[in-house]
Structure 1
Amino acid sequence: MNHRVSHDQNFKNLILDYPREALAFFAREEAYDIDASATITPVRQEQLKERLGERFRELDVPLLVEWPDGRREALLFVLEEETDPQRFSIHRLAHYCLDLAELFATQRVVPVVIFLQAHPAVPERLALGGECHDYLLFHYLGCALNVMPAVDHLESDNLVARLNLPNMDWSHGQKIDIYAKAIEGLLRLEPNVEKRIKYLDFVDIYTGLTETERQIYESRYPQESKAMAGLAERLRTEGMQQGMQQGMQQGMQQGEQTLLRKLLVRRFGPLDAITEQRLQQATTAEIEYWAENLMEAKTLQDVFG
């Protein structure tokens, strides 16, 4: 939970899975009138990487809002999650927004920064100019989750808001009830079982219940607890199945590597360090390809050629 990348990925998943709800919650000022007719398309970073450079890899995906009837010009939202406010760079965000504006040939760009923790030293505006005038003025919508009163969102129909209840402002005595409201929202607002399992983990991570607190939750909210226990069991079973499958695949691959190594040694003698490294790093497809080459190879080079 302390690694920035994990938070970045958690919120990126949240925004990609629920883009409409994410905009309504994180950027309410600009997104309040985005109706059902508008389409929201994630602009994936992979499509922008060559143009925008490596330094933007940690930013979340922008969202392009379009109205199919053409009555309004497309609107580009640029959302960034910032775990450590002291690492936030308003210059980097401004540069990123300018690049996106040029790339999409639009001036309708809304930068949004999601802070897990508010910090008084974080700049809210950027002004570049000289003695007489400012020539570039830039600011963004800031959403500091830890200063948002959780009580205002306990009954929200916005799933993104409900899932973020643990990140909001609440007293220590409310912890179990905050967790319960987040889970209640997940069960009521998300019908897809796979996504329920996925965001059960999100709520667990950001609430951090102790074993004692979890027992109190189970006794206080038996119905929800039973439902979540079923999801947790399914998650555990799927994890075991996936682990067994991965283990079998790894075991088969290691066996193929060992067999190919023995055949190579028998045919060409002891292997050098470079060849050993190639075998250890090889994929299953590569091992199969080299094994086929071995049938007619006259030299070691022929095998890997």
Structure 2
Amino acid sequence: MTHDQNFKNLILDYPREAIALFAAAEAQAIDADARVTPVRQEQLQERLGERFRELDIPLLVEWPDGRREAILFVIEEETEPARFSVHRLAHYCLDLSELLHTQRVVPVVVFLHRGDFSGQLSLGGDADTYLDFRFLAYALPRIPAREHFESPNLVARLNLPNMAYGPEEKLEVYAQAMRGLTTLEPDPERRIKYLDFIDIYAALDENERIVYRQRYPEEVAEMTRFAERFLEKGRDEGREQGLEQGIGQGEARVLLRQLTLKFGPLPEPVRARIESADADTLLRWSERVLSADQLDEVFSASE
């Protein structure tokens, strides 16, 4: 999955938290009664036709009682600042303003990597400026991670690995991101989904994972208990299907998640091996996960 898709999913799953982090001043007026809904890309493409410029998901905030006019948040993630086009963003915001008949549009750009970028677009002549377009820039690598260690905002906690920290803080950043995930997200499917998010951006190597398990045993134990519960749930789902194929698919899915929880993103050959194994083999491998210190121990242990 690409960085762009990771962030689109994040905005879709946690729209209020995304607005609160990336556009804090504007978010203060959004109360619990407001409804936040994504504007679907298919809808935009159909209505804008050739003018359609696909960026990230726009979020429409509406007050059902009509006491305030709706406001549109256009949140774009840009991995490399050098690729960012303020002209493209301005075009997109003008298109959306015309399409949705609103002048209440808040452009936000989230930068993932360090680099310079143009912060505004001004068009005019000698006598005056006739178009002055600006946007909110949230450059993650410039935000001190430590400032968000105790944040109740899950989007902030998940993005700790993308923020600024010293090499000696890397494992603490990873631990605080994991704590945020386990304490702020009760849904097991989303926990699994955003465990991958943290792992992708933290990019711990094998030595760092070993040190992490030694330094943060409570966090490792919590994730291990979660893996066990998730494993049992997957087995129950497989049994309910009543078919060998269903059981095998359930075991494979759970084993993939177990291994990712403990060892991080898996090499493609490992994923392929798991997906092609039978149910009994998958069960044996699953039983080895909790005692294995390295990935290859799950597969190379004596039968």
| Alpha-carbon shift at residue 117 of structure 1 (Å) | 1.9
Which residue in 2 is equivalent to 1:191? Answer: 186
Kindly provide the amino acid, as one letter, of the partner of residue 253 in structure 2.
E
SS of structure 1 residue aligned to 2:89: helix
| Alpha-carbon shift at residue 54 of structure 1 (Å) | 6.5
Q: How many residues align?
A: 243
Worse-superposed segment, 100-109 or 58-67: 58-67
| Alpha-carbon shift at residue 38 of structure 1 (Å) | 0.7
Separation in structure 2 between the aligned mates of residue 206 and residue 240 of structure 1, nearest angstrom: 22
Distance 1:118 1:55, change over 3 A: farther
- Stretches of structure 2 lacking an aligned partner (at least 5 in a row): 232-250, 257-270, 278-303
Q: Could you list the per-position Cα deviations for residues 245-293 of structure 1 after superposition, in whole angstroms to 9, with x for gaps in the alignment? A: 9879xxxxxxxxxxxxxxxxxxxxxxxxxxxxxxxxxxxxxxxxxxxxx
**1:238 corresponds to 2:234:** no
**Where in structure 1 do 4 or more consecutive aligned residues deviate above 3 Å?**
51-58, 229-237, 239-248
**CA contact 1:67–1:74 (8 Å) conserved in 2:** yes
**CA contact 2:154–2:180 (8 Å) conserved in 1:** yes
SS of structure 1 residue aligned to 2:29: coil
Which residue in 1 is equivalent to 2:95? Answer: 99
Separation in structure 2 between the aligned mates of residue 205 and residue 245 of structure 1, nearest angstrom: 20
Q: Could you list the per-position Cα deviations for residues 221-242 of structure 1 after superposition, in whole angstroms to 9, with x for gaps in the alignment? A: 2222123235567588416699
Choose the corresponding residue for 1:204, options 183, 199, 203. 199
Distance 1:51 1:247, change over 3 A: farther
| Alpha-carbon shift at residue 51 of structure 1 (Å) | 3.2
Separation in structure 2 between the aligned mates of residue 100 and residue 85 of structure 1, nearest angstrom: 23
Sequence identity of aligned pairs in percent?
61
Kindly provide the amino acid, as one letter, of the partner of residue 129 in structure 1.
G
Which residue in 2 is equivalent to 1:150? Answer: 145
Separation in structure 2 between the aligned mates of residue 204 and residue 245 of structure 1, nearest angstrom: 20
Q: How does 1:1-305 map to 2 (within 5 A)?
A: 6-53=2-49, 58-120=54-116, 122-231=117-226, 234=230, 237-238=252-253
Separation in structure 1 between the aligned mates of residue 83 and residue 59 of structure 2, nearest angstrom: 23
**CA contact 2:179–2:219 (8 Å) conserved in 1:** yes
Separation in structure 1 between the aligned mates of residue 42 and residue 48 of structure 2, nearest angstrom: 10
Kindly provide the amino acid, as one letter, of the partner of residue 12 in structure 1.
K
- Stretches of structure 1 lacking an aligned partner (at least 5 in a row): 249-305
Q: Could you list the per-position Cα deviations for residues 126-167 of structure 1 after superposition, in whole angstroms to 9, with x for gaps in the alignment? A: 011112111111010000000101111000000000000000
Separation in structure 2 between the aligned mates of residue 245 and residue 213 of structure 1, nearest angstrom: 25
Separation in structure 2 between the aligned mates of residue 57 and residue 228 of structure 1, nearest angstrom: 41
**TM-score scaled by structure 2?**
0.74
**CA contact 2:21–2:155 (8 Å) conserved in 1:** yes
Q: Which has the larger radius of gyration?
A: 1
Q: Could you list the per-position Cα deviations for residues 2-42 of structure 1 after superposition, in whole angstroms to 9, with x for gaps in the alignment? A: xxx70100000000000000000011121123111111001
Separation in structure 2 between the aligned mates of residue 29 and residue 152 of structure 1, nearest angstrom: 18
SS of structure 2 residue aligned to 1:59: coil
**CA contact 2:3–2:79 (8 Å) conserved in 1:** yes
Q: Could you list the per-position Cα deviations for residues 91-125 of structure 1 after superposition, in whole angstroms to 9, with x for gaps in the alignment? A: 110000000000000000000000012322x1111
SS of structure 1 residue aligned to 2:186: coil
**CA contact 1:114–1:142 (8 Å) conserved in 2:** yes
Worse-superposed segment, 214-223 or 46-55: 46-55
**CA contact 1:45–1:57 (8 Å) conserved in 2:** no
Separation in structure 1 between the aligned mates of residue 209 and residue 273 of structure 2, nearest angstrom: 29
| Alpha-carbon shift at residue 74 of structure 1 (Å) | 0.3
**TM-score scaled by structure 1?**
0.74
Distance 1:98 1:164, change over 3 A: same
Distance 1:104 1:245, change over 3 A: farther
| Alpha-carbon shift at residue 50 of structure 1 (Å) | 2.8
SS of structure 2 residue aligned to 1:48: helix
SS of structure 1 residue aligned to 2:2: helix
**CA contact 2:80–2:114 (8 Å) conserved in 1:** no
SS of structure 1 residue aligned to 2:190: helix
